[in-house]
Homo-oligomer: A and B are copies of this chain.
């Protein structure tokens, strides 16, 4: 990735625009291998840029291998420039578009020393470290087959039994053949989408919603529609209308401690939502990944529905370990059977058996409940402290969540959150600007803060400067 230096000025941005336009045409198969590119003069006119900008863009695309110059006859798409599924532009890291991948790539790949109030996980010292070490030592002593063999196609029976007991606490009575383990919570959602969706289908999400739902749905080439999220769940009147007019095949939501807002659906909304879903044959994925952070259990769609049209998914990445990757799906037994086949076809199984062994060991031990109790108390204090400090900067929480580590906040000064996030990144602080969560792109004045990553005083200085610098 060279050429970064050239992209700084205004001319550089135009070069990137031309490159993006060509890449998009190749990705969308409007230009195929061997096709001739527009002449420099004509593209310069079309895009209102100078010919030298187009020349630079073509040269850089040629250096990347996407296009090739033929002497005296212009530029052509390379035979190897496949028309692949380009989910986002492959820009140098810092320059990349603030798209649904922005937060994940920045927060996963930036050096661990960089503070990340935009990230979606807890710091190591908030996790059950001792229980994890104990479980790993136990793993080192277990029978050889656990350390060397593939697991069963539905995943560890021990862990699935532990999960059934936990589902029962949520009011979800499921049989063992209604539960499978997956490589991660995201992979659970992805498998279900592969099973249920076809390109062109319509999928409904909340607005705002977890940004990776948008990235995932892009990969499925479906049409995304959104319903605004209120403090008691999705706007139900609007939800009912959308079901009638847009006919979505699937709705994906978090019902306990919704990401990013921290809101929780009310019992009444849950009932109306399921009634509407039944009359329009809508399937629902209820992602319960933050459920364990609730002080007391809220209504679950899966419990009301009895795992009929609601598919419950979850993982342990937020409460136990994101390094020990494992998710699960609870659904109708016939769907689970097909989903297991699909997971064999596409991953030859679910999580690493060593990973599910560690998780089962931690969950079975008595310390996990105690850890979660302490964690919830610590989070209550931290949410309150951070909310106060944010308010001093005119950053107002949209609501005070009952649990979890996110505060979804409005920049009361009216600043553009994307600009604030870009300015903060230039000072090595990763933030999560509102519009990465918004299908309708109406959250430009919102920001999601992870209260557990805001201890460092420098963050607050950077935030203050970034707010000052951003246009209101």
Measuring CB to CB, which residues of chain A are less than 8 angstroms from any residue of chain B? Answer: 1, 33-34, 64-66, 79-80, 82, 84-88, 90, 100-101, 104-105, 108-109, 112, 121-122, 124-125, 127, 129, 132-133, 136-137, 139-141, 143-154, 177, 183-187, 190, 194-196, 199, 212, 215-216, 218-219, 278, 281, 283, 308-309, 317, 321-326, 332-335, 337-338, 341-342, 344-349, 351-355, 358
- Measured CB to CB, the closest approach of chain B to A268, in angstroms, equals 23
Please state if B144 and A127 are interface contacts (CB–CB under 8 Å): yes
Most chain B beta carbons < 10 A, residue from A199, A218, A349:
A349
Please state if B187 and A344 are interface contacts (CB–CB under 8 Å): no
Contact of A150 (CB < 8 Å), options: B215, B322, B345: B322
- Measured CB to CB, the closest approach of chain B to A469, in angstroms, equals 29
Nearest neighbor of A191 in chain B, beta-carbon distance:
B346
CB-CB under 8 A from A344, the residues of chain B are 101, 104-105, 108, 212, 215
Nearest neighbor of A135 in chain B, beta-carbon distance:
B140
Please state if A195 and B323 are interface contacts (CB–CB under 8 Å): no
Known: A104-B153, A153-B104, A187-B346. A196 touches B352 (CB 8 A): no
Q: How far is the CA of A170 from the CA of B338 in the complex (A)?
A: 39
CB-CB under 8 A from A152, the residues of chain B are 108-109
- Measured CB to CB, the closest approach of chain B to A448, in angstroms, equals 16
CB-CB under 8 A from A355, the residues of chain B are 352, 354-355
CB-CB under 8 A from A322, the residues of chain B are 148-150
CB-CB under 8 A from A326, the residues of chain B are 352
Query: Closest 4 A-B residue pairs measured CB to CB?
Result: A136-B140, A215-B345, A90-B337, A124-B144
Please state if A105 and B153 are interface contacts (CB–CB under 8 Å): yes
Could you list 4 further interchain pairs (A-B, Cβ under 8 angstroms) beyond the known A82-B335, A148-B321, A219-B342?
Answer: A121-B149, A121-B150, A184-B349, A187-B346
Please state if A147 and B121 are interface contacts (CB–CB under 8 Å): no
Contact of A334 (CB < 8 Å), options: B85, B90, B321, B353: B90
Nearest neighbor of A88 in chain B, beta-carbon distance:
B341
Nearest neighbor of A340 in chain B, beta-carbon distance:
B105
Q: How far is the CA of A104 from the CA of B341 in the complex (A)?
A: 9
Q: How far is the CA of A80 from the CA of B104 in the complex (A)?
A: 34
Nearest neighbor of A219 in chain B, beta-carbon distance:
B345
Known: A87-B341, A342-B87. A348 touches B144 (CB 8 A): no
- Measured CB to CB, the closest approach of chain B to A29, in angstroms, equals 9
Q: How far is the CA of A141 from the CA of B104 in the complex (A)?
A: 28
- Measured CB to CB, the closest approach of chain B to A213, in angstroms, equals 10
Please state if B347 and A183 are interface contacts (CB–CB under 8 Å): yes
Please state if A85 and B338 are interface contacts (CB–CB under 8 Å): yes
A-B contact pairs, 29 of them (CB 8 A): A1-B333, A34-B281, A82-B335, A84-B195, A85-B196, A85-B342, A87-B338, A87-B341, A87-B345, A101-B341, A105-B341, A108-B152, A109-B153, A121-B149, A127-B148, A133-B141, A137-B140, A150-B322, A184-B349, A186-B345, A212-B344, A216-B346, A219-B345, A219-B346, A317-B348, A323-B353, A325-B351, A354-B358, A355-B355
Please state if B147 and A321 are interface contacts (CB–CB under 8 Å): yes
Known: A66-B334, A216-B345, A218-B345. A144 touches B125 (CB 8 A): yes
Please state if B147 and A129 are interface contacts (CB–CB under 8 Å): yes
CB-CB under 8 A from A137, the residues of chain B are 137, 140
Please state if A33 and B342 are interface contacts (CB–CB under 8 Å): no
Known: A101-B341, A334-B65, A347-B187. A146 touches B323 (CB 8 A): yes
Q: How far is the CA of A121 from the CA of B342 in the complex (A)?
A: 21
Known: A87-B338, A338-B86. A136 touches B144 (CB 8 A): no
Nearest neighbor of A339 in chain B, beta-carbon distance:
B84
Q: How far is the CA of A22 from the CA of B122 in the complex (A)?
A: 48
